[in-house]
Amino acid sequence: MKKIILMVFLMLLTGSLYCDVKQDIDALLHPNILNYNVFAQNELINDKIPNTQPAIKDTVSQKLLLKRPKTCFTFALDTVVMPGIKIGFGWIKYDSTSTQETFLILHGNSGWPLWPIFTTGIHGQVNTFRSPERDGFYTSCNIGLDYLLFPGTFLSPYFTFGIGYSFKTGNNSFFRISGDLGVKWLLASITLSYVF
């Protein structure tokens, strides 16, 4: 019984190796078939294969695609209604037609000296860009929870939608102006932020 199991295992192993070697040979004989070509990525980067992924080639250089960051940080100031500070850490997801940043943000706002209000909270923020460069107009969605110290203390939901504009200030740094509106104790806010 052990010999039969060993023979079946060896037959499966050699069959698998044969298929892998055959696919590699096919890839070398047919370099235009990207699915099997082990050198396709290098040829794409060096522009040896024409008309592949035109959306990416036309909008972003290949050097930038290889050096795109996967994480980022943000520091922001709430203005106009009630001053506040936000700090956060984010992850970046790239797609062929858009880019998405997902942040986890801690924030605090104070109405002092005009109003005896203080709030702190945590929320998730998702920014969606049409540009793989993460500049220009973008939309945002925020979901979280606020803890308020007003004459009493209570929890408030934080659920907003917004729009903003991102200015590229460096290789991977941006200055942004955004506004949001939704269900939160301060109905709306305008934010100036720096992302790096």
Per DSSP, which regions of 130-187 are E strands? Answer: 136-149, 153-168, 174-183
Under CATH, to which class is 66-195 assigned? mainly beta
pLDDT in tens, 67-110: 789 999 999 999 877 889 999 999 999 988 899 999 999 999 98
Q: Are 125 and 140 in contact (CB under 8 A)?
A: yes
Phi, psi of 60 (to 5 degrees): -135, 135
Q: Say which residue the tokens 């199991």 belong to.
A: 5
Instruction: Give the residue with greater pLDDT, 174 vs 6.
Output: 174
Higher pLDDT, 90 or 10: 90
pLDDT of residue 66: 58
pLDDT band at 1 (very low <50, low <70, confident <90, very high): low
Query: Could you report the per-residue pLDDT of 38-68, keeping only the tens digit for each?
Result: 445 555 555 555 554 555 445 555 555 557 8
Q: Is the peptide bond before 113 cis (omega within 30 degrees of 0)?
A: yes
Reading the block at residue 51, the tokens are 């008309």
Give the contacts of 87 (CB within 8 A, at least 6 positions apart): 73, 74, 75, 76, 105, 106, 107
Instruction: Identify the helix (H) or strand (E) that includes residue 124.
Output: strand 118-129
Residue-range domain boundaries for the chain: 2-52, 66-195
pLDDT of residue 174: 97
